[in-house]
Amino acid sequence: MRETMLSTVDNPYNPFSDFDKWFQYDVVHNYNCLGIMAANTYSSNEYGEGRILEDIEQGIDDFLKNDILGLYIKVVHDTDISTVTEPAHI
């Protein structure tokens, strides 16, 4: 299963493997990645997990299209093969 998170180009921590440090860095620098993801994701708890993950990724992709400063990135985690890819720039 493919999971995605919004992060920033300067955050040295992976939100999937080191969430606490990633989150602390995000908060200290006032990036608010989780808030941005929530504001840009349109989904429902009534959907299945796969659909929700797709909606989250679509929200991240939509946000990144408008990130004119290029500060934010998408980090991808594929849980089917238990690997984490390098952050992907959109």
CA distances from 24 to 14, 19, 44 (A): 12, 8, 28
Structure tokens at 34: 């989780």
Give the start-to-end residue ranges of the domains of the chain.
Answer: 2-84
Label residue 45 exposed, middle or buried (CB < 10 Å: 0-12, 13-18, 19+).
exposed
Per-residue confidence band for 6, with pLDDT thresholds at 50, 70 and 90: very high
Rounded distance between C-alpha atoms, residue 35 and residue 21, angstroms: 17
pLDDT at 69 over 90: yes
pLDDT score at 86: 57
pLDDT tens for 8-64 read 999 999 999 999 999 999 999 999 999 999 999 988 888 888 899 999 999 999 999
pLDDT tens for 74-83 read 999 987 754 5
